[in-house]
Amino acid sequence: MIYPIHDAEGGDNGGRASCLGGSPPSSLVLVSVHKSPFKSTWSKAQKRLYHRVLSGFECAKRVGDHVRVMTLTSSPEYTDIHRSFDRLRKRIRRLYGRFEYCCIKEHTKEGLEHLHLVYRGKFIPQKWLSDTWNDIHGAKIVWIAQLYTWKLAKHLGRYFIKEGVGRFWMSWGWVYRGFVGDWKVIVSKYGKFALRFWMSLLHGNVVKINDCFELHAPWIKFPKLLL
């Protein structure tokens, strides 16, 4: 299950075509922290955000990654929080390596902007984060913590829905490049049962679309055929 500003939400269709035949997985993942996108009073944007956040959680759990939560406050003297976050992201990756995230923007009652993130990557000391964010954006107050139990994942996702204002973005590696296209293909094929097949895909199973087209997560490797 279950973290360049120009990182996109989607990407090219990540489907991998093959003519291997076979049948859909006999055992599907029936229990998930996902809230079904088809049974909710949320707006389309809220459903989309929740699906993206929880899909990243699923991937992190699948590969054994830790997920951490981060909040970055804003300063009245600095208006472009996106540019500041871009600089912070580059420094984090330069010093701590991989940093895959999903980020939402919140507007406070005081008219300031805060950023809430979930990310997959190494531990970042709070003092370093506070000093660096103060240097970049003029705001010292930050918060960072590890998600210690997957049972909190859906509650965190709902918190993101509550705090978000519709604008969110993520790095290519939060789930995998092209996953949005794969999700749309599964929805088109399986309708109200799409979530079950999506979960099956994220857990390493091949999802059959038709006789000559299958989807599989990019970390699944198939042996080469000898001609």
pLDDT at 86 over 50: yes
Instruction: Looking at 126-216, list the stretches that DSSP marks H as alpha helix, in order from N- to C-terminal side.
Output: 126-137, 153-163, 179-190, 194-202
- Residue 3, pLDDT score: 28
Gyration radius of the chain's alpha carbons: 19
The dihedral over CA atoms of 15, 17, 20, 22, expressed in degrees to the nearest 10, equals 40
Q: Is residue 180 part of a domain?
A: yes
Return the higher-pLDDT residue of 31 and 19. Answer: 31
Q: Over the chain, what is the mean pLDDT? A: 76
Angle in degrees, CA 207, 211, 217, rounded to 5: 25
Cβ neighbors of 181 (< 8 A, separation 6 or more) are 10, 11, 12, 13, 14, 15
Q: For the purposes of burial, counting CB atoms within 10 Å of the CB of 112, is it exposed (0-12), middle (13-18) or buried (19 or more)?
A: middle
Look up the CATH number of the domain holding residue 102.
3.30.70.1910
**List of E strands, 77-149:** 99-107, 113-121, 142-146
Whole-prediction pTM:
0.74
pLDDT at 13 over 50: no
Q: What is the pLDDT of residues 143-196, one digit of tens each?
A: 898 876 666 666 666 766 665 555 789 999 999 989 999 999 999 999 989 989
Domain of residue 45 covers 16-215
pLDDT at 202 over 80: yes
pLDDT at 23 over 60: no
Cβ neighbors of 177 (< 8 A, separation 6 or more) are 11, 12, 14, 218
pLDDT at 29 over 70: no
From residue 22, alpha-carbon distances to 106, 131, 211 in Å are 47, 55, 8
Q: Is residue 184 part of a domain?
A: yes
Q: How many domains does the chain have?
A: 1
Q: What is the pLDDT of residues 95-142, one digit of tens each?
A: 999 999 999 888 877 778 889 889 999 999 999 999 999 999 999 899
